Chains A and B, each alone.
Chain A
Amino acid sequence: MLHHRTIAAHAKALRRGEYSSTDLTQHYLTRIQTSPLNAYITPTPDLALKQAQAADTHLKSDPDPDQIRRPLLGIPLAHKDLFCTAGILTTCASNMLHNFIAPYTATAIQKIADAGAVMLGKTNMDEFAMGSSNETSCYGAVKNPWNPTRVPGGSSGGSAAAVAAGLAAAATATDTGGSIRQPAAFCGLTGIKPSYGRISRYGMVAFASSLDQAGVLTRTAEDAAHLLRAMCGHDPHDSTSLNQKVPDYPADLTAKTHALKGKTIGLPKQFFPHHHQKTSAHGIAPSIATAIDQAINQLQTLGAKTKIIDLPNAAAGIPCYYVLAPAEAASNLARFDGVRYGHRTEAKADQDLNQMYRQTRSQGFGEEVQRRILTGTYVLSAGYYDAYYLKAQKLRRLIADDFHRAFTDHKCDLLAGPTTPTTAFALGEKTQDPIAMYHNDIFTNAVNLAGLPAISIPAGQDENALPIGLHLIAPYLHESRLLSAAHQFQCATDWHQKTPPEQSKK
Chain B
Amino acid sequence: MISYDFSISPAIFYPFSPHFPPMSINKSTISHLATLARLEITPAQEKHHAAQLTRIIDLIAQMQAINTDNIPPLAHPSDTPLPLRPDRVTETDQRQTYQKIAPYTAQNLYLTPRVID
A residues with a Cβ closer than 8 A to B are: 99-101, 103, 196-197, 210, 236, 239-240, 242-243, 270, 273, 277, 279, 282-283, 312-316, 318-320, 322-323, 330, 334, 337-341, 344, 347, 351-359, 361-362, 365, 370-371, 373-375, 377-379, 381, 387-388, 390-398, 400, 421, 434-435, 438-439, 442, 449-452, 476
Whether the Cβ atoms of B8 and A283 lie closer than 8 Å is yes
Whether the Cβ atoms of A344 and B71 lie closer than 8 Å is no
Residue of A nearest to B90 (CB): A236
Please give, as numbers and ranges, the residues of chain B lying within 8 Å of A390 by CB-CB distance.
Answer: 73
User: B24 → chain A, closest Cβ, in Å?
Assistant: 13
Interface size on B, residues (CB 8 A): 61
Please give, as numbers and ranges, the residues of chain B lying within 8 Å of A378 by CB-CB distance.
Answer: 25, 29, 33, 53, 57
Docked complex: B55-71 residues within 8 A CB-CB of A: 55-57, 59-64, 66, 68, 71
Does B108 reach chain A (CB closer than 8 Å)? no
| A-B complex: 7 closest residue pairs judged by Cβ atoms | A451-B77, A393-B73, A315-B6, A394-B68, A397-B74, A362-B40, A283-B8
Whether the Cβ atoms of A353 and B66 lie closer than 8 Å is no
* Cα–Cα, bound, A237→B96 (Å): 21
Chosen A-B contacts, 18 in total, with CB atoms closer than 8 Å, are A101-B101, A210-B77, A270-B6, A283-B8, A315-B8, A315-B15, A316-B66, A318-B59, A319-B63, A322-B59, A341-B98, A347-B104, A352-B113, A359-B40, A370-B39, A394-B74, A397-B68, A434-B52
Most buried by B among A340, A351, A379: A340
Contact of B39 among A339, A365, A400, A439 (CB under 8 A): A365
Please give, as numbers and ranges, the residues of chain B lying within 8 Å of A398 by CB-CB distance.
Answer: 66, 68, 71
B residues with a Cβ closer than 8 A to A are: 3-4, 6-10, 13-15, 25, 29-30, 33-34, 36-41, 49, 52-53, 55-57, 59-64, 66, 68, 71-78, 82-83, 85, 94, 97-104, 110, 112-116
* Cα–Cα, bound, A384→B111 (Å): 36
Please give, as numbers and ranges, the residues of chain B lying within 8 Å of A395 by CB-CB distance.
Answer: 63, 66, 68
Contact of A103 among B7, B39, B101, B113 (CB under 8 A): B101
* Cα–Cα, bound, A101→B38 (Å): 24
Whether the Cβ atoms of B74 and A400 lie closer than 8 Å is yes
Residue of B nearest to A390 (CB): B73
Whether the Cβ atoms of A381 and B36 lie closer than 8 Å is yes
Whether the Cβ atoms of B116 and A273 lie closer than 8 Å is no
Whether the Cβ atoms of A381 and B33 lie closer than 8 Å is yes
Residue of A nearest to B78 (CB): A197
Beyond A283-B8, A316-B62, 15 additional contacts (C-beta under 8 Å) are A210-B76, A273-B8, A359-B40, A361-B40, A370-B41, A371-B53, A374-B33, A393-B73, A393-B75, A397-B71, A421-B13, A434-B56, A439-B14, A442-B13, A452-B77
Residue of B nearest to A381 (CB): B36
* Cα–Cα, bound, A320→B73 (Å): 12
User: A289 → chain B, closest Cβ, in Å?
Assistant: 12
Whether the Cβ atoms of B72 and A397 lie closer than 8 Å is yes
